[in-house]
Amino acid sequence: MAELVFFTGTMDCGKSTLALQMDHNHAARGRSGLIFSQHDRAGTAQLSSRLGLSREALEVGDDTDFWELVVDQVTHGRRVDYLICDEAQFYRPGQVEQLARLVDEMGIDVFAFGITADFRAELFPGSRRLIELADRTSVLQVEALCWCGRTATHNARTVDGVMVVQGEQVLVGDVGGELAGDDRMSVEYEVLCRRHYMRRMTAHAASAQAASPDVLPFDLDLCPLPRVR
């Protein structure tokens, strides 16, 4: 039975690496698939991992109709057994519904990969619809870590080194030098545990706090690590 599966987690938990591995595994067994991505860090029409792996992909835009695209491919003789859909949090809810239709009506497996919540700790519309419609949602077991060593649960955005919780929802990470009007700003992302996300305490802020002569070691905002049993 075909499935719509949503693989999710914070940044740095290996979603794109898993997407590339799944495509390799299915292709190695003679299955034929299509790879999709949107706003990938490596540029347009790419699916890339922070480990340095990458593959060409079909770029998803707001006007992409997955149903029409796949039907057209099949009509022209291409076999499509599965879809790899990376950065799926950026997809429109209607596009997620098209993916579900491909599973139900054409028996095509859809493997979607994306983060659940944005830098404001609010659900992406695409991720929300995937959670609502997916046959199953799988949280990746590779845990990203906050600077304090605890499991990271939130994605934080920093502008010129300062954490922000307002702004455009979609702004591709790792993009130092993003234009903002007439000024240039450095935009980066960092994963944090909930405590440090709520306190707006990034690694840079913690380092600055530790370097202050007015702060004693026991005053640092550190999280106690869980006990090992």
Domains in the chain with CATH codes: 4-139 (3.40.50.300), 154-212 (no CATH)
pLDDT tens digit at each of 229 positions of the chain: 899 999 998 887 778 888 899 999 999 999 999 999 987 776 677 787 777 777 788 999 999 999 999 999 999 999 999 999 999 999 999 999 999 999 999 999 999 999 999 999 999 999 999 999 999 999 887 778 999 999 999 999 998 888 999 888 776 544 334 444 435 678 889 999 999 999 999 998 888 876 655 554 444 555 554 444 4
- Nearest to residue 153, comparing CAs of 6, 12, 37? 12
In this structure, what token pair is assigned to residue 23?
A: 């495509």
In this structure, what token pair is assigned to residue 175?
A: 């993009």
Residue 21's φ and ψ, nearest 5 degrees, are -65, -40
Q: Which of 3, 59, 68, 87 is catalytic?
A: 87
Burial-class residue 12 by CB neighbours within 10 Å (0-12, 13-18, 19+).
middle
- Report if pTM > 0.85: no
Burial-class residue 177 by CB neighbours within 10 Å (0-12, 13-18, 19+).
exposed
> What angle is formed at CA 30 by the lines to CA 28 and CA 31, rounded to 5 degrees?
100
Q: Which residues pair with 191 in a beta bridge?
A: 155
Please report, to the nearest 10 degrees, the dihedral formed by the alpha carbons of residues 173, 190, 117, 228 taken in order. Answer: 150
Taking only Cα atoms into account, the Rg of the chain, rounded to an integer number of angstroms, comes to 20
- Nearest to residue 202, comparing CAs of 149, 162, 169, 167? 162
- CB-CB contact of 9 with 15 (8 Å): yes
Residue 52's φ and ψ, nearest 5 degrees, are 105, 0
87 is an active site residue: yes
